[in-house]
Amino acid sequence: MAPGVVMPRSGAPPNEFEGRVTIYVVVCGIIAATGGLMFGYDIGISGGVTSMDDFLEKFFHKVYLKKHHAREDNYCKFDNQGLQLFTSSLYLAALLTSFLASKTCTRYGRKPTMQAASVFFLVGTVLNAAAVNLWMLIIGRLLLGVGVGCANQAVPLFLSEIAPVKLRGALNILFQLMVTIGILVANLVNYKASTIHPSGWRLALGLAGVPAAILCIGSFIIPETPTSLIERQELDQGLSVLKKIRGTDNVSLEYKEILQASELAKEVKHPFKNLRQPSSRPPLVIAVLMQIFQQFTGINAIMFYAPVLFQTIGFKNDASLLSAVITGTVNVLCTIVSIVFVDKAGRKILLLSACILMLIAQTTIGGVLHANLKATNNLNHSVAIVVVVFVCVFVGSFAWSWGPLGWLIPSETFPLETRTAGFSFAVSSNMLFTFIIAQAFLSMMCHMRASIFFFFSAWIVAMGLFVVFLLPETKNVPIDEMIERVWKLHWYWKRNNMFVTQIDSDIFFMQTWEHWKNGKMFEIIDTSIVENCRENEVLRCIQIGLLCAQELPDNRPLISQVVLMFNSPSMDIPVPLKPAHYASMREGSSVNEDPISELQPR
């Protein structure tokens, strides 16, 4: 192989898998994406409900009194930990559940995890709609959170795995599109429910059952993903689903690729432990950073509390909800923009353009509020309109970028062996930071006042730098070829031998073994291994292969031990060797010694 030329593992040229975009794959994608509808409905509904008088009077009497106390500071009207806990408890439960859901995704599949999501969600909804005290409300929210944790783990993975490579971005974004539709529907429901007294809030919370019911029924129609089937040894079924979703019988290359990925994944007994290996670091760091950044744009300060925020700046109850409906509509429309462009323009350009616009929007909102909104005076009408317009600019640019790509990028950048475990970190980080914002925003607004928007602006600058320097482009890269085609080539992430992984060493040693068996002299077969390392350790690994193959009389068991050694997930790769081994092996005097036992994991 020419130096530096790295072939995908299946040997297939990138992007050349057979198959078209079938109606079946699109329908399955839409059904699965209703998991996003549940999530979105929840995000949108809590803001509206927590600003409804009937609800506040029943459960948060103090806030109700404060809200109607004319002299109360505008920025602090809604600052109440209990009220914030109502919103945020869901995310706490989702955070913890996502780790569990990662295991059910691997062991039982993506589909049953989605089914579990819908059941938890339905039970939570019933408790919420029937709540007679705060505890019923909170427990209901926790169960909704369990549902969201399962759905947010399973759905994006499902979408990325069934998608044909050229449409992976678009199909994955269906999830976020459903999130935004859920938010919009919730805003509309809030708008109507706020006029129904005294139980409009029950209707608002109870309607969350609709998307859960759709997902529950729909999940019986969709198949399990081929990847998950193959990973769980249901090879025939995996192959037949693959043929069905690709609309062709000619899927052998893609099948082989998934099979290889799952063979390697099988070696990994502890995917969470494996995430600690250097080769998992880049997708993990990026997955977590994407979530922190997504939430510190300040999006949920607006999504959860839009009606509250608009009331803060002086809109009446109805007008506030109406403004939330406007921003919700912008959110949906701009997510569609993302679906259209993500696989053409690529991920980075969407993220960067959004950073620029969001920065302008946040600083303008902060400036306008700072100059015009005093503690007890509302904004005058035209200034309030300016704020709404910039909120729309902010929400729109978020919607074509950090919103959808926050899910897409982590779902496509991990290798199969750590995909569900790695993705669960993305989901849980998203939930954690959503929780933090939900819990802290109203208090932050009370203390920081308009400066809170400058706080978010500073984060947006950091995000822009992250995109420019650290985020690789993953457009049109097959999902199981990220290591070779993305990480190994990135100026920063390729450093420190991070990608001399067990995959490399497996291939390397297998090739070496084949050559040896066929009586050929050893030669360096994959020069990319040598090229991608900067430290001597990798060369030392290659030397082991050489020594074993050439100098030991009974080389087979030793080679298999070496392969084993490289497969061991508990060991960092490359494995540090003691120089004494070289000598003893070279002299051929220690064939019966077990060199592996002397090797210590780093």
Ligand X SMILES: OC[C@H]1O[C@](O)(CO)[C@@H](O)[C@@H]1O
Positions that interact with ligand X (CB under 6 A) = 43, 176, 179-180, 183, 294, 299-300, 303, 331, 403, 406, 434
φ/ψ of residue 311, rounded to 5:
-70, -35
Compute the least distance from the CB of residue 147 to ligand X, in Å. 15
Q: Least distance from C-beta 305 to ligand X, angstroms? A: 11
CB of 593 to ligand X, least distance (A): 55
Question: Please, what is the minimum distance in Å from the beta carbon of residue 41 to ligand X?
Answer: 11
Burial of 73 (0-12, 13-18, 19+ CB in 10 A): middle
Question: Closest Cα to residue 347, out of 483, 457, 460, 466?
Answer: 466
Output the smallest distance, CB 294 to ligand X, in A.
5
What's CA 533's distance to the chain center, in Å? 29
Which lies closer to ligand X via its Cβ, residue 176 or residue 505?
Answer: 176
Could you tell me the smallest distance in angstroms from the CB atom of residue 338 to ligand X? 11
Closest approach of ligand X to the CB of residue 162, in Å: 20
Residue 294 or 439 with smaller CB distance to ligand X: 294
Contact, 457 vs 355, CB < 8 A? no
State the minimum distance, in angstroms, from the CB of residue 233 to ligand X. 34
What residue has token string 């893609």? Answer: 254
Closer to ligand X by CB, 459 or 508: give it: 459
R_g over Cα of the chain = 27
Q: Which residue number has the CB closest to ligand X?
A: 303
Nearer to ligand X, 45 or 538 (CB): 45
Q: Please report how close the Cβ of residue 486 comes to ligand X at its closest, in angstroms.
A: 23
> CB of 174: closest distance to ligand X in angstroms?
12
Task: For residues 411 and 434, give the distance between their C-alpha atoms in angstroms, rounded to a whole number.
Answer: 19
CA atoms of 581 and 190, how far apart (whole Å):
72
C-beta of 142 vs 148, nearer to ligand X? 148
Q: Which of residues 145 and 406 has its CB atom nearest to ligand X in the complex?
A: 406
Sign of CA dihedral 416, 422, 427, 430: negative
Handedness of CA 411, 412, 417, 418 (dihedral sign): negative
In angstroms, the CA 322 to CA 315 distance is 10
- The Cα–Cα gap between 221 and 218 comes to 5
Nearer to ligand X, 311 or 329 (CB): 329
Cα distance between residue 326 and residue 390, in whole Å: 12
Our CB check for ligand X shows the closer of 180 and 532 to be 180
Start-end of H helices in 449-535: 451-469, 482-485, 502-517, 527-531
Q: Which is nearer to ligand X, 37 or 268 (CB)?
A: 37
- Annotate 133-150 with DSSP letters as a single string: SHHHHHHHHHHHHHHHHH
Nearest C-alpha neighbor of 200 from the set 48, 62, 94: 48
Dist. CA 471–CA 421, nearest whole Å: 20
For Cα atoms 423, 426, 428, give the angle at the middle one, nearest 5 degrees: 110
For ligand X, give the closer residue by CB, 21 or 337.
337
Closest by CA position to 332, among listed 391, 403, 399: 399
Only one residue has tokens 């803001």, namely 47
The single-letter code of the amino acid at 299 is: I
Residues 6+ apart with CB under 8 A from 432: 91, 95, 291
DSSP for residue 84: H
Give the separation between CA 562 and CA 287, rounded to whole angstroms: 32
How near is the Cβ of 354 to ligand X at its closest, in Å?
Answer: 12
Token pair belonging to 490: 């990135």
Cα-flanking dihedrals φ and ψ of residue 52, to 5°? -85, 130
Closer of 219 and 429 to ligand X (Cβ): 429
Residue 564 CA to residue 546 CA, distance in Å, equals 16
Closer of 144 and 258 to ligand X (Cβ): 144
| Residue number with CB closer to ligand X (226 or 410) | 410
Report in angstroms the alpha-carbon separations of 98 from 14, 68, 102, 148, 290. 32, 40, 6, 9, 17
Of 509, 572, 498, 494, nearest in space to 274 by CA: 572
Least Å distance, CB 402 to ligand X, is 7
Provide the minimum distance between the beta carbon of 299 and ligand X in the complex, in angstroms, as a whole number: 5
Least spacing, CB of residue 558 vs ligand X, in Å = 51
Nearer to ligand X, 104 or 300 (CB): 300
